[in-house]
Structure 1
């Protein structure tokens, strides 16, 4: 029996709140609303597994076919027909090819690791050797059921961070940011998956060589790695089929499915008589280089071309909205939205049938160390119903709001630092930025919804009042945080009144100054002439 395509191994949540495990042929069940794994990174991996499976097998090749399947999902029998040609690629067990596992590696080859090492946050070899696993302890995932092991393996291959010499990162680097379209209000799992699938010909034309017909060029575990990449070589888009984007395999792993045990899975807690406890691994897997263009990730422009965005300290929030949704171009940064998002906004419009949200998630990695898992859902309102010209105007207007907010945040951060410390002080002031962005988020989305509604209905209105209102939000938020939380709330005996007064005065001056007004596109008052100038006149 094929575990990954025929057996119920995927945890989902039903409309009534109950939990169930399903096979992929039930993705279109209208009673299923979301994935329901025990770890958030597993939910992200399962979503990408499902989208990749549908994109790889869908026969839909026109906008009308795509729209029909959005409105009337295929039944289980139809999905089984879609998946039948790729059954061999999704075998999880057996002596031959196995899903996401090295074709030639044996269970006793290479380095043998405890199964918990598949989890990205688990301490690495050096941490175990130096006994430095203080916060995330070893041995927390001693045995995994086949379902959790398969999900952990998929999660590792998607997010693979740098892991020492020859341990390759994922196709999008270590811990990429993924952005997926989802319904608003939630309309069921099928809709959320299908929103992120493109017409087959559109997808095939985007990256890779659709003329590459070998199955291993779609699913790299179906052959020896050398069939794709020579020893010490690299793997570029032109060497593989576009389907490879979803099934990249940077890590050489082989699960030990012989030395199994009975008991409870360390992650889901279910009983199993096939608990997997270890796996073999080797370095020097597929080395992804070149202009890869993954449909589910936003990209930024670098010296060497476009690179995928990755979560950074500070989390995910409205300051990223423009880059994720419409792209952002300025003197400092050039970023574009994920291909699936751009395609939906540029070509689908009314086909999408209602409001949308964007689900963004990913690991913040420091080389091989996972600092944090970030996840956020941001609203798009009825953006998909706006014409292309309206999207351009929204991009320009929101760009002004975000540029001015970024400037105001820097003014607040500088004022807090000047009030607390001398000029040469160093430290982490990220808490100041986080508080500022959090306090201004509600106002941003209120203004954004009003802007989108106005553009969708083609209502002409002066942009100046909204910009002035946003300026007041920035001004009052920064001053309140300075006075009420960061400086004014401190112990009096430890404060320097003169330094605080000077910092506060400078903050007020900056928030009302020409630089911030100019960033927001507001009129800048003319400078009053000095006494000397008036006297000379």
Structure 2
């Protein structure tokens, strides 16, 4: 019998005792549950997105007041509201099938592991080029795992060759979710957008696929930046092939739906110029730190160009005190079609009053100027640009604890000017210490011209932290500090 993703239990979760259970979606409102428990972190993130999408589709809050009134989980209500969606959520069999073309697709089936972003595509496997991606790890998938992989693939679809569309957020988008830290249902409810319940007719697999072979694009609903299809998009044309209860293959055809102009509520966005189309933010390979906060965790000064995810902005207006809420960040860092790294990070939820919020942005931007000053000063010490860039990254990592302390001080209501002064001192300490550790050992064995250059740039670096020079002037401006008085020229 085909798995129905609304009525049947298929989602593995952990409860507060540490026990593993398998639930149907309506049971997400069980107050004893902690989180999904799939064998891969990208599936856990996609599962949270799916559950948020189901609630948004079936029983979203009407407004902030309704959201507050309904924070207490109500499994019976959720079960009743989800029930009408069941005919659209069969995974296998006849009729409309979850996230698959309405008509059966003919052609050669791919192995089911094509549904995982870090699996090798057909060309990669044929060319024996699957060094960083993998082939033939999943010759068959049980139905629940196949459903979750299918959802993750459609939601995060990367570039896939001619005609194979990316997701509406591009390949491997950055996902940011508010986590109040109280279990599964509070996390889901914290991120559900305001809206009105929708019928199954709004789901794209209930009708023939809107093909993009002739350049057709699908915009969001009129007057909105997104609709239910943000959670249930179909950029790829797929049909699952099954043998009994196992999915053994996937048939894919090109020219699925090409989404344009959507702003997904669970992802931050940016644009290069005011008035241009908003674009989804994608994670970079490596560590996520405070240098990346603006426009993702904290409001950026240039809100016309960088905007946090709608779920973060909405949560700030829904709760008076976020308490210990955090933000879960996740996503694949991609190099075109190739996955480089999966980012998974827990960061603080940032909620500060106006002056403190402005200073927080200033701290980040001042650190950027300090890091640039350090990188420039290291030119006579480290010839390679990559080596200097590595030191810049190390500078950010070294100052991370002090940034956390500065955030705590702003949260506690400390005067921003005092926080800025301590932050400047920390930036100066870290930059000069890093420069000295690299430049001073063996200095006496260097060429005379190199010694002179090193002494000179160290002086410029130190002066930057007194407000002089390009980097120093900008740094002081970001910290709202007065620039030093200009020295008067000598009289003739």
When normalised by structure 2's length, the TM-score is 0.89
How far the C-alpha of 1:157 sits from its partner, in A, is: 0.7
**Can you give the 5+ residue segments of structure 2 that lack an aligned partner in the other structure?**
none
How far the C-alpha of 1:522 sits from its partner, in A, is: 1.5
Q: 1:480 aligns with which of 407, 415, 433?
A: 433
Q: Work out the CA distance in 1 between the residues paired with 2:420 and 2:215.
A: 55
- Does 1:432 pair with 2:391? yes
- 1:223 equivalent in structure 2: 207
Secondary structure of the equivalent of 1:238?
A: coil
Structure 2 counterparts to residues 175-324 of structure 1, below 5 A: 175-183=172-180, 186-201=181-196, 215-216=200-201, 218-226=202-210, 232-238=215-221, 242-258=227-243, 274-289=245-260, 291-303=261-273, 304-324=276-296
8 Å contact kept, 2:283–2:343: yes
- 2:338 equivalent in structure 1: 369
Structure 2 counterparts to residues 107-118 of structure 1, below 5 A: 109-118=106-115
Structure 2 counterparts to residues 17-36 of structure 1, below 5 A: 17-36=18-37
8 Å contact kept, 2:177–2:191: yes
Structure 1 residues 480-505: Cα deviation after superposition (integer angstroms, max 9, x where no partner): 23334x55579998996555444433
How far the C-alpha of 1:446 sits from its partner, in A, is: 1.7
Cα distance, 1:197–1:463 mapped onto 2, change above 3 Å: same
8 Å contact kept, 2:212–2:255: no
**Can you give the 5+ residue segments of structure 1 that lack an aligned partner in the other structure?**
205-209, 261-273, 455-460
Root-mean-square deviation (CA, aligned residues, Å) is 2.7
- 1:420 equivalent in structure 2: 382
- Does 1:534 pair with 2:474? no
How far the C-alpha of 1:451 sits from its partner, in A, is: 1.2
Q: Work out the CA distance in 2 between the residues paired with 1:284 and 1:490.
A: 61
- 1:173 equivalent in structure 2: 170
- 2:147 equivalent in structure 1: 150
8 Å contact kept, 1:59–1:82: no
How far the C-alpha of 1:164 sits from its partner, in A, is: 1.0
How far the C-alpha of 1:131 sits from its partner, in A, is: 1.3
8 Å contact kept, 2:409–2:419: no
Structure 1 residues 125-144: Cα deviation after superposition (integer angstroms, max 9, x where no partner): 33222211123332222222
Q: Work out the CA distance in 2 between the residues paired with 1:20 and 1:491.
A: 63
Cα distance, 1:471–1:93 mapped onto 2, change above 3 Å: same
Q: Work out the CA distance in 2 between the residues paired with 1:153 and 1:339.
A: 25
Structure 2 counterparts to residues 34-113 of structure 1, below 5 A: 34-58=35-59, 60-70=61-71, 72-75=72-75, 77-106=76-105, 109-113=106-110
- Does 1:510 pair with 2:464? yes
Q: Work out the CA distance in 2 between the residues paired with 1:492 and 1:93.
A: 74
Structure 1 residues 23-57: Cα deviation after superposition (integer angstroms, max 9, x where no partner): 11211222211122211111110010000001111
Structure 2 counterparts to residues 10-21 of structure 1, below 5 A: 10-21=11-22
Structure 1 residues 229-280: Cα deviation after superposition (integer angstroms, max 9, x where no partner): 785411111379821111011011111013x5xxxxxxxxxxxxx3322110
Cα distance, 1:487–1:110 mapped onto 2, change above 3 Å: farther
How far the C-alpha of 1:335 sits from its partner, in A, is: 0.5
Cα distance, 1:503–1:127 mapped onto 2, change above 3 Å: farther
Cα distance, 1:446–1:139 mapped onto 2, change above 3 Å: same
Q: Work out the CA distance in 1 between the residues paired with 2:17 and 2:379.
A: 51
Q: Work out the CA distance in 2 between the residues paired with 1:494 and 1:33.
A: 59
- Does 1:130 pair with 2:86? no
Secondary structure of the equivalent of 2:98?
A: coil
Cα distance, 1:45–1:430 mapped onto 2, change above 3 Å: farther
When normalised by structure 1's length, the TM-score is 0.82
How far the C-alpha of 1:367 sits from its partner, in A, is: 1.4
Secondary structure of the equivalent of 1:101?
A: coil
- Does 1:344 pair with 2:339? no
